[in-house]
């Protein structure tokens, strides 16, 4: 039973990855743009080589990337590359592959996104649960309200506002970058502290931009749970307020929130990318915008594919650990 | 929408529609505030377009890098845009993209949702399957691929709307589908069927009017999503670069290092404008949810 469920989810995962890579394959090929020609025409303008050489170079590159083959052969090659996780070679930073570029940037992105997602999830759910809990003190219940009001503000805008008020006006934190100009990356304490200081504002932007949604949905959930018989029963058993809050209230309300987390993964990652480029952090988002700026198509498509696959894999993973959180659910 | 009041029979006067709506808005605070904010923004752009030369929103129309002053209330940017004019035109363009993409997306969603739910069978399986497979794919990234494949000079406000709408119909399709599924089992539909009404008659006369609140909520949700998506694309540098779209202004301010150089007013004006737009849409969306789904009404 369980095996069949896992196989079904894996099949679905493959289907998602297949359709995403097919979309990423066909869209650029329907466009009249020729990335290789554009790239080398740009180089020629900057004074690299003569116009006659240009055609030769373009032809050899087209052959190298297989663009002169018939479409179905290209598709087949492309798919086998995707299977081998070969995302192509950067046009702009030539010897480097897309995979190299992603791997260089990925630790920064994972560090930022993982910590902010977890923090926002925990803070938002606690605040939301407290806000809906009738026995919580009044001031504690109203802490949640400002976060709900901030819900319409996406993380990037939050980032711009934080940059202005905290970094520009007050001068408390740096305006961008991942470490101070002039310092050499090392594992020493001053450097790590400096790098951490640069992560505070982007992290704050991401957290403030996403906490409100968790607060709101958790509060709604909490209100419905209050009326349940098992909560009343626990009260009559004489359980303490905190035990009821933790075991009867939070635990039951948390599950739909995990589903919400699955659905929010894609949005959170894309918000993270945009925030990274706003703060000029060396993560995947900055690699993506640099690629967009320099028309490095191979890298753009590679990153898009990489993130799409990551999101799909994460979704299925969360779904598979779901039964561990709720013993009532069996994989079916 | 019945308002439960118990007027004394002697002075029972039928309330006018306007009073009824205003009363409802007082109860449904988020809808009221959201609509008021939106009205303010609409007034700002319409009066702005009347009093300001739209040409001032484009580069080289004003002295560069002036901080806010009486002459330029929001300052001017590095390229010589008057940022007040840029806000007026940018908001108008944002609204255009949002409404256009939202309307087309909702229309597609309603049509597909109806077809899927009403006819069922393999059509339903196909439409639902495609929606389910496409949903986990982060829409913005596919939009990045589409926008990146276009010639930058060919990107206009309308292309932006088109890019956004290409991947925006799945949400409304699933919502409308589930509503139609539950509605077609209701008794009034069976009665209509038994009395010999055709499929189209049932769809347009029986089901559609009952779905209107859901369609309105889906439409506002789609406008929000479209504004959001086009803003993100522009912030990534994929917008029509010459246009004073709000995301474009933030992108160019950021790439010129506005805060590093002390030109703080440059990214601030579009950021606040965008906060107001998205905030009002989010509030309206929440309010409409309450209207369309009475079960969550007054849940607090």
CB contact under 8 A, A312 and B133: no
Neighbouring CB atoms inside 10 A of A177's CB total 14
Average pLDDT of the segment spanning A157-165: 84
pLDDT for residue A201 is more than 80: yes
Q: How many Cβ contacts (< 8 angstroms) between chains A and B?
A: 131
A1–chain B nearest CA distance, Å: 23
Query: Quick one: pLDDT at residue B300?
Result: 38
Reported confidence tier of residue A9, pLDDT bands at 50, 70, 90: confident
CB contact under 8 A, A300 and B279: no
CB contact under 8 A, B145 and A312: no
pLDDT for residue B107 is more than 80: yes
CB contact under 8 A, B299 and A220: yes
Smallest Cβ–Cβ distance between A16 and the set B136, B250, B271 belongs to B136
- Which positions 102-161 of A are in contact with B (Cβ < 8 Å)? 151-154, 156-157, 160-161
Phi, psi of B94 (to 5 degrees): -60, -45
Q: Which of these ranges, A79-93, A116-130, A256-270, B50-64, has the smallest mean pLDDT?
A: B50-64
Contact A314, B138 (CB under 8 A): no
A305–chain B nearest CA distance, Å: 8
Tell which residue, A279, A288, A278, A328, has the closest CA to residue A308.
Answer: A288
Which residue in chain A is spatially nearest to B279 when comparing CA positions?
Answer: A152
In angstroms, the CA B77 to CA B64 distance is 6
pLDDT for residue B85 is more than 60: yes
In angstroms, the CA B288 to CA B281 distance is 10
CB contact under 8 A, A270 and B279: no
pLDDT for residue A318 is more than 70: yes
Q: Which of these ranges, B29-33, B34-38, B39-43, B221-225, has the smallest mean pLDDT?
A: B29-33
CB contact under 8 A, A315 and B136: yes
Contacts for B30 with CB less than 8 Å, ≥ 6 apart: B283, B284, B286, B287, B290
**A284: chain B residues, CB-CB within 8 Å:** none
Query: Quick one: pLDDT at residue A66?
Result: 66
Q: Which residue has the higher pLDDT, B152 or B270?
A: B270
Tell which residue, A207, A233, A246, A209, has the closest CA to residue A115.
Answer: A207
In angstroms, the CA B167 to CA B145 distance is 12
CB contact under 8 A, A16 and B139: no
Residue identified by tokens 């309300």 is A253
Structure-derived torsion over alpha carbons of residues A73, A74, A75, A81, reported in degrees to the nearest 10: 110
Arithmetic mean of pLDDT over chain A = 80
What single-letter DSSP state applies at residue A248? I
Contact B137, A20 (CB under 8 A): yes
A129–chain B nearest CA distance, Å: 13
Q: Which of A25, A151, A152 to mutate to test the interface with B (most CBs of B within 10 A)?
A: A152
Average pLDDT of the segment spanning A221-232: 78
Query: Quick one: pLDDT at residue B267?
Result: 83
In angstroms, the CA A318 to CA A211 distance is 20
Q: Which residue has the higher pLDDT, A61 or B230?
A: B230
Q: ipTM, 2 decimals?
A: 0.80
B232–chain A nearest CA distance, Å: 7
Contact B234, B153 (CB under 8 A): no
- Which positions 75-94 of A are in contact with B (Cβ < 8 Å)? none
In angstroms, the CA B240 to CA B256 distance is 17
CB contact under 8 A, A288 and B278: no
Query: Quick one: pLDDT at residue B6?
Result: 53
pLDDT for residue B12 is more than 60: no
Arithmetic mean of pLDDT over chain B = 81
Query: Quick one: pLDDT at residue B8?
Result: 53
pLDDT for residue B298 is more than 50: no
CB contact under 8 A, B238 and A156: no
Smallest Cβ–Cβ distance between B150 and the set A31, A220, A304 belongs to A31
Which of B13-27, B34-48, B99-113, B133-147 is modeled with the greatest confidence? B99-113
Q: Which of these ranges, A72-81, B57-66, B288-297, has the smallest mean pLDDT?
A: B288-297
Reported confidence tier of residue A46, pLDDT bands at 50, 70, 90: low
Which of A158-162, A180-184, A196-200 is modeled with the greatest confidence? A158-162
- Look at chain A and count its residues: 332
pLDDT in tens, A25-42: 888 777 766 767 777 776
Query: Quick one: pLDDT at residue B297?
Result: 44
B134–chain A nearest CA distance, Å: 7
Average pLDDT of the segment spanning B228-232: 87
Compute CA A295 distance to the chain's CA centroid, rounded to the nearest angstrom. 23
Query: Quick one: pLDDT at residue B102?
Result: 92
**B271: chain A residues, CB-CB within 8 Å:** 157, 160-161, 164
What percent of chain B stands above pLDDT 90?
6
Q: Determine contact: A254 vs chain B, CB below 8 A.
A: no
DSSP alpha helix (H) spans, A133-188: 138-142, 144-149, 155-162
Q: Which of these ranges, A48-62, B129-143, B168-182, has the smallest mean pLDDT?
A: A48-62
Joined together, the tokens standing for residue B121 give 């069978």
Q: Which residue has the higher pLDDT, A187 or A95?
A: A95
Joined together, the tokens standing for residue B195 give 């009395």
Query: Quick one: pLDDT at residue A248?
Result: 80
Q: Determine contact: A30 vs chain B, CB below 8 A.
A: yes
Compute CA B283 distance to the chain's CA centroid, rounded to the nearest angstrom. 12
Reported confidence tier of residue B108, pLDDT bands at 50, 70, 90: very high
In angstroms, the CA A91 to CA A298 distance is 7
């Amino acid at each position: 039973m369980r095996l069949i469920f896992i196989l079904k989810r894996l099949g679905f995962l493959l289907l998602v990855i297949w359709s995403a890579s097919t979309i990423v394959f066909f869209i650029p090929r329907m466009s009249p743009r020729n990335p290789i020609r554009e790239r080398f025409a740009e180089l020629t303008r900057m004074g690299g080589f003569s116009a006659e050489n240009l055609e030769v170079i373009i032809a050899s590159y087209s052959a190298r990337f297989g663009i002169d083959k018939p479409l179905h052969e290209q598709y087949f090659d492309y798919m086998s590359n995707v299977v081998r996780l070969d995302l192509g070679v950067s046009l702009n930073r030539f010897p480097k592959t897309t995979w190299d570029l992603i791997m260089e940037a990925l630790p920064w992105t994972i560090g930022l996104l993982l910590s902010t997602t977890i923090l926002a999830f925990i803070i938002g759910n606690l605040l939301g649960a407290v806000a809906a809990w009738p026995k919580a003190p009044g001031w504690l219940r109203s802490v949640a309200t400002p976060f709900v009001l901030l819900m319409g503000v996406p993380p990037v805008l939050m980032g711009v506002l934080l940059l202005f008020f905290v970094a520009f006006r007050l001068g408390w934190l740096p305006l961008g970058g991942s470490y101070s100009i002039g310092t050499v990356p090392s594992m020493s304490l001053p450097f790590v502290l400096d790098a951490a200081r640069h992560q505070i504002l982007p992290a704050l932007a991401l957290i403030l931009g996403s906490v409100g949604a968790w607060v709101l949905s958790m509060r709604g959930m909490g209100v419905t749970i209050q009326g349940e018989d098992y909560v009343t029963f626990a009260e009559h058993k004489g359980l303490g307020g905190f035990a009821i809050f933790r075991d009867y209230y939070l635990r039951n309300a948390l599950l739909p929130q995990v589903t919400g987390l699955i659905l929010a993964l894609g949005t959170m990652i894309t918000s993270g990318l945009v925030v990274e480029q706003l703060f000029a952090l060396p993560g995947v988002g900055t690699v993506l915008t640099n690629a967009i700026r320099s028309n490095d198509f191979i890298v753009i498509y590679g990153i898009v594919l990489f993130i799409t696959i990551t999101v799909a894999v994460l979704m299925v993973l969360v779904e598979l650990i779901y039964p561990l959180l709720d013993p009532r659910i069996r994989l079916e | 929408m019945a308002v439960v009041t118990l007027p004394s029979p002697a002075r029972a006067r039928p309330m006018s529609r306007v009073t009824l709506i205003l009363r409802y808005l007082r109860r449904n605070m988020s809808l009221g505030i959201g609509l008021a904010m939106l009205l303010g923004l609409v007034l700002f752009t319409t009066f702005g377009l009347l009093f300001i030369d739209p040409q001032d929103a484009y580069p080289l129309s004003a002295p560069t890098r002036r901080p806010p002053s009486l002459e330029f209330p929001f300052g001017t940017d590095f390229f010589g845009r008057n940022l007040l004019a840029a806000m007026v035109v940018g908001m108008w363009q944002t609204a255009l993209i949002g409404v256009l993409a939202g309307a087309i997306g909702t229309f597609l969603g309603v049509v597909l949702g109806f077809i899927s739910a009403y006819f069922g069978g393999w059509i339903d399986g196909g439409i639902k399957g495609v929606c389910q497979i496409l949903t986990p794919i982060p829409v913005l990234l596919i939009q990045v691929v589409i926008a990146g494949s276009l010639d930058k000079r060919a990107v206009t406000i309308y292309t932006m709307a088109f890019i956004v709408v290409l991947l925006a119909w799945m949400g409304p399709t699933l919502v409308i589908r589930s509503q139609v599924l539950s509605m077609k089992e209701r008794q009034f539909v069976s009665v209509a069927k038994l009395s010999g009404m055709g499929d189209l008659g049932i769809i347009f006369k029986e089901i559609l009017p009952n779905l209107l609140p859901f369609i309105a909520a889906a439409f506002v949700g789609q406008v929000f999503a479209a504004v959001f998506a086009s803003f993100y694309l522009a912030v990534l540098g994929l917008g029509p670069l010459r246009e004073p779209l709000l995301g474009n202004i933030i992108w160019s301010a950021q790439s010129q290092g506005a805060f590093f150089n002390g030109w703080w007013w440059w990214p601030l004006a579009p950021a606040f404008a965008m906060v107001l737009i998205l905030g009002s849409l989010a509030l309206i969306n929440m309010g409409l949810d309450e209207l369309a789904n009475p079960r969550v009404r007054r849940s607090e």
